[in-house]
Amino acid sequence: MSTAEEQPGPSKPSGSATDEKERDDRTFECNICLDTAKDAVVSMCGHLFCWPCLHKWLETRPTRQVCPVCKAAISKDKVIPLYGRGATKQEDPRNNVPPRPAGQRTEPETSTGFPGFGFGDGGFHMSFGIGAFPFGFFTSTFNFGETRPSPAPRGTPQFEEEQFLSKVFLWVALLFICWLVLA
């Protein structure tokens, strides 16, 4: 085992700790205001910005939406928000800036394929087929307008669509089970 002094890489004499910290901070600088990125978003080309800064840039050049760094095509819908631990919601949302675009969550694929469907041993449909199923089902189906706490970010078109699809799916499942019971 070699000692620290013999290790390859840049040597770090004592007192360079602040330099190093400065360099670390600079890695996360917004490419527009050159300050540490607040409400950070990253473009598809990988460039980091504060959302208010990027939004203002896109607003300044509505006909020419390019990345301020590499000039790749860029759009409001194609930036990814970065959620650092304990980093969000500390900042006042600035005036005239819409909320930062929400992240898009896709649930991991469950392995239940169609052949297993409907035989009662898959965890998925049993979970709503027993007990409180009708109540839970009806409440979740008919409260479109109501705001419920939800783990997924609300308000995006994708979110609405997913909600709608899952309701359609529940109806189909219900009809299928009724058919099984009656047959």
Closest to 102 (Cα-Cα) out of 85, 79, 86, 84: 79
43 sits near another protein (criterion: CB under 8 A)? no
Q: Is residue 80 near another protein by the rule CB under 8 A?
A: no
Sheet holding 48-50, edge to edge: 48-50, 40-43, 79-81
* 37 is an interface residue for another protein by CB under 8 A: no
Least distance from C-beta 46 to another protein, angstroms?
Answer: 13
What residue has token string 């969550």? 105
Binding mask 26-45 for Zn ion (x = CB under 5 A): ----x-xx-----------x
Contact set for Zn ion, span 84-143 (CB under 5 A): none
**Least separation in angstroms between CB 75 and Zn ion:** 12
CB of 90 to another protein, least distance (A): 19
Site size toward another protein (CB under 8 A) is: 16
Which of 38, 125 has the CB closer to another protein?
A: 38
Instruction: Find all residues with CB under 8 Å of 97, minimum gap 6, and list them.
Output: 51, 52, 55, 56
> Which partner, Zn ion, another protein, none, binds residue 50 by CB below 5 to 8 Å per kind?
Zn ion
Among 31, 41, 100, 170, binds another protein (CB under 8 A): 31
Contact residues: Zn ion, CB under 5 A: 30, 32-33, 45, 47, 50, 53, 67, 69-70, 72
Contact residues: another protein, CB under 8 A: 31-35, 47, 53, 56-57, 60, 64, 66-69, 71
